[in-house]
Amino acid sequence: MKNMGNVIGERLKYQSTQKKLEENFGVSINSICKIKENAFLKNFKSWTDKKQNQFFVLVGGRANFDQTKNYIKSLK
């Protein structure tokens, strides 16, 4: 099984991912450490389910949707 922290961390290195995060979510994230911060997690909790799901797809990929969702929700 893939380590989702590593998968997300690698995807966050892409400029295209960073650009979409800024445009669609208003956040600047370039490492998994930023996702683990309380400030981000608090902001994340305020998003609608649809917006959260879009975030999971962006940072984890469509094929890893459930694993990404479980990983990020476990950080709360």
The Cα 56–Cα 43 span in angstroms is: 15
Going from the C-alpha of 41 to that of each of 16, 27, 33, 62, the distances in angstroms are 22, 12, 11, 21
The Cβ of residue 66 has, within 10 Å, a number of other Cβ atoms equal to: 10
pTM of the model: 0.91
Per-residue model confidence as pLDDT tens digits over 21-71: 999 999 999 999 999 999 999 999 999 999 999 999 999 999 999 999 999
Residue 1 has pLDDT above 70, yes or no: no
